[in-house]
A = this chain, B = another copy of it.
Amino acid sequence: MASDNKMNLVILGLLDHEDLTGYDIKKRIDGSLRYFWKGSFGSIYPALSSLEEDGLIKKVKGKSSSAGREKIVYKITAAGRKNLLAWLSESKSSNSLKYETLLKLYFGGVADNEVSIATITEFEKEVEADLAVLNTYKKNLNKVLDERDHVFFYLTVTFGIETYEAYLRWCSDAKKILSGKKIVRSKR
């Protein structure tokens, strides 16, 4: 690989499944991948150029001939697929979370408890909305789980559900503690 640029791997992974434009890639990142990854146009387009230069992907068509909007569709090459597989087999993975919500809470002693409670409530609402979407995904996926490809998507969905449910339990407990109430919860 030209470098350890993560966007390169995301693009190779997505292109291995279907041919896409840069814009399409952004939609996939903000769609299926958004529960565990993110990325912006500012890193997508430069990555596409460098991947093409290195022969790991190639343009399907210069532009859709005659009619229609100008569009650059990319396709993965054999060399690209080889790189993708090599990365998947690497034993080291870097997982990083940066939760501004938790950061604010950690420093919450500076302000009134109401400020922290508001921060948690905002977080709780976002999580509830995301969880609803994930549960819909799961429901639909249950019908097609026999196809191997769907299993991997299913696993990332259940990861989201499991962690988001944990977030919600924590939100509830944390708000009780900050509002001076005792926690009474059934054993698990």
Contact = CB atoms under 8 A, between A and B. Distances in A.
A42 interface: no
Nearest to A183: B158
Interface in A75-118: 81, 84-85, 87-89, 91-111, 115-116, 118
Given A155-B178, A162-B170, 7 more contacts: A88-B108, A95-B101, A95-B123, A102-B156, A105-B155, A108-B155, A163-B170
B93 A101 contact: yes
In order of increasing CB-CB distance, the 10 nearest A-B pairs are A166-B166, A36-B102, A13-B107, A97-B97, A93-B100, A36-B99, A162-B170, A108-B152, A93-B101, A162-B166
A110 to B, nearest CB: 6
A32 B169 CA distance: 22
B163 A106 contact: no
Contacts of A119: 88, 93
A56 interface: no
Nearest to A164: B166
Interface of A: 6, 9-10, 13, 16-17, 32-33, 35-38, 81, 84-85, 87-89, 91-111, 115-116, 118-119, 122-123, 126, 148-149, 151-156, 158-159, 162-163, 165-167, 169-170, 173-174, 177-178, 188
A134 to B, nearest CB: 13
Contact of A84 (B110, B116, B153, B155): B110
Contacts of A149: 109
Given A9-B103, A33-B106, A188-B188, A93 B111 contact: no
20 contacts: A33-B106, A35-B102, A37-B103, A38-B96, A84-B110, A93-B100, A93-B123, A95-B97, A95-B100, A95-B126, A96-B97, A96-B99, A97-B97, A105-B152, A151-B178, A158-B170, A159-B170, A163-B167, A163-B170, A188-B188
